[in-house]
Structure 1
Amino acid sequence: MASVSYHLISSFSYPRGAASLARRGDSPSIFRRGHYSFKSSSDVNGNKFCRILACAAQTGRRQVEIVHDPEERFNRLADEVDKNTKLSRLTLFSPCKINVFLRITGKREDGFHDLASLFHVISLGDTIKFSLSPSKTKDRLSTNVPGVPVDDRNLIIKALNLYRKKTGTNNFYWIHLDKKVPTGAGLGGGSSNAATALWAANQFSGFLVTEKELQKWSGEIGSDIPFFFSNGAAYCTGRGEVVQDLPHALPTDLPMVLIKPQEACPTAEVYKRLHLGKTSSVDPLTLLEKCVQSGISQDVCINDLEAPAFDVLPSLKKLKQRVLAAGRGQYSAVFMSGSGSTIVGIGSPDPPQFVYDEDEYNDIFISEASFLTRQENQWYAEPTSSTSSFSKEEMSQTGE
């Protein structure tokens, strides 16, 4: 009988240079090192996983296949949770938002600014997977994007801590954040993640509290978070935490394109350079009425943070001007969202040609999007037609 050699592998990394070769597609994605074969593959959803084939050098010995699959981690974890638990796993869509207009109306005694803005959820978003942890001691967060904090600096962890504090529940979670919304973009991606985490914690607890309670609590950890508990379209005032739902949201079939350079606009620095005497004098309620009655137009899409953001990042001003000039007849409005650095073009999902043609925009992020709403007592659902987002560098690597 032939002897069997088992090589137990608990973790692995590609040989030096192998991973980059696999990503670029410059060579077959099978690499050999000693007695092991490393094979990079993807599942039907496009998730990367690695098969490690362990075998002895001599012929006649049998092969042991060990599969490392990110999905398996959550499946194993859920199996460990008490089988009597009604809910052990949950996957939620975490959409971002744009500010159709943003007026800064004054400085507050607490150091913040008063604003008046039309917020609207859009179809670009992250996916967050929650699994109940059997440990009952600590949340564990992982993400697909380097540099995103995974400790209690992350708004997801802050939201879960807040929920436990307010309700006295003791559920802890393993969370994986599949991030598609760029950071430092003025799109509220982190705030949406926090709202989604609060909704998830409440669902795991059997909807212990109301949406209104979640909305009220969420303002304690972020000014933009309460908005996501609206129906998806709202007129927001105060620091942003005073949310008035709009009964008639903007058309969900109205296309748009998001264009974000690699550089971010630090929100604190943008507000530091804001001069209230140089902001718009248009009544924000006038802007709201016009937008609701006549739709989005360039004169409605006023953002008082554009001037200080352009001061922080002059190249962003140039980008907006070029999109405006190149998109005449293509976009009904071009404006910056939030404190930047995303430029939004309303009316077409396609960016102007110059962002493809010029090396200056090699690292730019581009995404099509549309407006999105939700039904009461339901969280946001990802649109059936997947939102397309990419960078020029990714597009060139795939040969598109």
Structure 2
Amino acid sequence: MTLTEYAPAKINLALHVRERLPNGYHILDTIFAFIADGDRLTATASDNCSMNIVGPFSKGLPVNDDNLVLEAAKALAKAAHIDANVHFTLTKNLPIASGIGGGSADAAAALRLCNSLWGLDWPLEKLCEIGLALGADVPVCIASSSCHGTGIGEQLVPISAGQWQNMPILLINPLKPVSTGQIFGQWDKQDKGVFEGPVNELESVAKGRNDLQPMAISLCPEIALILEQLSQSNPICARMSGSGATCFALFADDEACVQAEEQIKSVFPDYWTLTSRLHDWDFGRER
């Protein structure tokens, strides 16, 4: 039996950093959203735990014990007291180390797949507990739906009827990986305040910020150039996602989104771009 799951890209519509904890994690106030595109993961019963990686961004992604997909399968198997007998094929469509949760989304997809493949049928909450040990963004990627995240990003409150649902979005990445640890390590430790306003309103999102953006720009100046170019396309909102280097812009209609991509490609022909839509997947939840 072969099962397939999508691993949609995660977007931080706003990312307010509040405090650094002694363990190196940070207290956050963030709005998570997801898009209709991402990586794809398939799982097949096997006599061991293995994987292969294909797709446009497969090069340079290791297949070893540090791979989050394999880590996720082994963590779930350990919790269930069974052998991690599964073979994965990951189609890597998203840039690596790009601030849109690619690795976390892949790990979340692995947890959902193995949960089904092995007949565990564990609830999402239990998968989230296992996922948190793999990374702070893994729990929100399990359901892949809009959430207001606090704590280190693991305290999640679903956002119903977010005004951004199905809204066109443009993603741009200069294909220059940045280190999440290095970006957070350079945070200026200035608490600039919580996310203000109703969490499901676009106006509140547009007034938000990404507190990691200045640090990321210092390491990857291309981010500032992308955002400057995006500002000329009259977006509803444009900023960096996560720790970068992917930037995004929201638009009122498809035509404006496509025109913005064409303009970006004319200025930065070698950058990765993707036009998509914001979309709540609600994996594993009853509808």
**Normalising by the residue count of structure 1, what TM-score does the alignment of the two structures yield?**
0.66
CA RMSD of aligned residues (A): 2.0
Q: Output the amino acid matched with 2:32.
A: F
Paired letter, 1:344? F
- The count of aligned residue pairs is 279
Do the aligned partners of 2:49 and 2:70 also contact (CA within 8 Å) in 1? no
Deviations 1:142-163, CA, capped at 9 Å, x for gaps? 3331111111111000000001
Q: What does the per-residue CA deviation read over 1:152-181, in whole Å, with 9 as the maximum and x for residues that have no partner? A: 111000000001110012241221111111
Is the CA contact (8 Å cut-off) linking 1:106 and 1:113 kept in structure 2? yes
1:378 offset after TM fit, Å?
5.3
Distance 1:161 1:334 in 2: 38
Would you say 1:298 and 2:202 are equivalent positions? Answer: no
Which residue number in structure 2 is paired with residue 79 of structure 1?
none
Instruction: Report whether the alignment pairs 1:273 with 2:180.
Output: no
What's 2:25 paired with? 112
* Aligned-pair CA distance for 1:185: 1.3
Query: Aligned pair in 2 of structure 1 residues 138, 294: CA closer, same or farther (>3 Å)?
Result: closer
Instruction: Confirm or deny: 8 A CA contact 1:94 1:196 kept in the other structure.
Output: yes
Distance 1:316 1:151, change over 3 A: same
User: Counterpart in 1 of 2:265?
Assistant: 356
Q: Is 2:124–2:143's contact at 8 Å kept on the other side of the alignment?
A: no
1:263 corresponds to which letter in structure 2? K
Q: Secondary structure at the match of 1:259?
A: strand
Offset from partner CA, 1:86-123 (integer Å, 9 cap, x none): xx211111111100100000111212111110001111
Q: Distance in 2 between matches of 1:180 and 1:231?
A: 17
SS of corresponding position for 1:105: strand
1:373 maps onto 2:280 in alignment: yes
* SS of residue paired to 2:279: coil
Q: What is the identity, as a one-letter code, of the residue corresponding to 2:242?
A: G
For structure 1, the 5+ residue unaligned runs are 1-87, 380-400
- Aligned-partner Cα distance in 1 for 2:17–2:202: 23
Q: Percent identity?
A: 22
Gaps of 5+ in 2: none
The AA in structure 2 aligned to 1:215 is: C
Structure 1 pair 119–200 and aligned structure 2 pair: CA distance change class (3 A) = same
Report the Cα distance in structure 2 between the residues aligned to 1:250 and 1:192, rounded to whole angstroms. 23
How many angstroms does 1:306 deviate by?
Answer: 0.5
Answer yes or no: is the 8 Å Cα contact 2:183–2:215 preserved in 1. Answer: yes
Letter in 2 for 1:377: G
Structure 1 match to 2:239: 335
Go from structure 1 to structure 2 and tell me whether the alpha carbon gap of 1:372 and 1:215 turns closer, same or farther (over 3 Å shift).
same
The 2-side partners of 1:264 and 1:231 are apart by 23
**Structure 1 match to 2:7:** 94
* CA drift at 1:355: 2.6
In structure 1, the residue matched to 2:140 is 227
Q: TM-score, with normalisation over the residues of structure 2?
A: 0.90
Structure with larger Rg: 1
- What stretches of structure 1 move > 6 A for 4+ residues in a row? none
**Distance in 2 of aligned mates of 1:250 and 1:178:** 31
Structure 1 letter corresponding to 2:16: R
Q: Offset of 1:333 from its aligned partner?
A: 0.9
Select which of 128, 134, 142 maps to 1:215: 128
